[in-house]
Copies of this chain bind each other. A is one copy, B any other.
Amino acid sequence: MGLSSLYLVNPRSFPDKEAETRAAGAWDILNDARVCTSLDEALSGTTLAAAITARPRDLSPEVFDARQGALELIDRARESSVALIFGTEMSGLTAMEVSRCQIVVHIPANPDYSSLNLASAVQVMAYELRMALPKLESLPVTVTVAAEFDEIELLQDHLERVALRCGFLKPGEPKRFMQRMRRLFARARLEKEEVKIFRGILSALEKRIRPH
Interface positions of A (Cβ within 8 A of B)? 1-2, 24-26, 56, 63-67, 106-111, 113, 116-117, 119-120, 123-124, 127, 130-131, 137, 139-140, 142, 162-163, 165-168, 177, 180, 184, 187-190, 193-194, 197, 200-201, 204-205, 207-210, 212
Taking a contact as CB atoms under 8 Å apart, the answer to whether B194 and A2 are in contact is: no
Say whether B208 contacts A167, CB under 8 Å.
yes
Count of chain copies: 2
Contact of A208 among B187, B190, B209 (CB under 8 A): B209
Q: Within 8 Å CB of A208, what residues of B?
A: 165-167, 209-210, 212
Which among B113, B124, B177, B180 is the interface contact of A127 at CB below 8 angstroms?
A: B124
Q: Which residues of B contact A188 (CB under 8 A)?
A: 184, 187-188
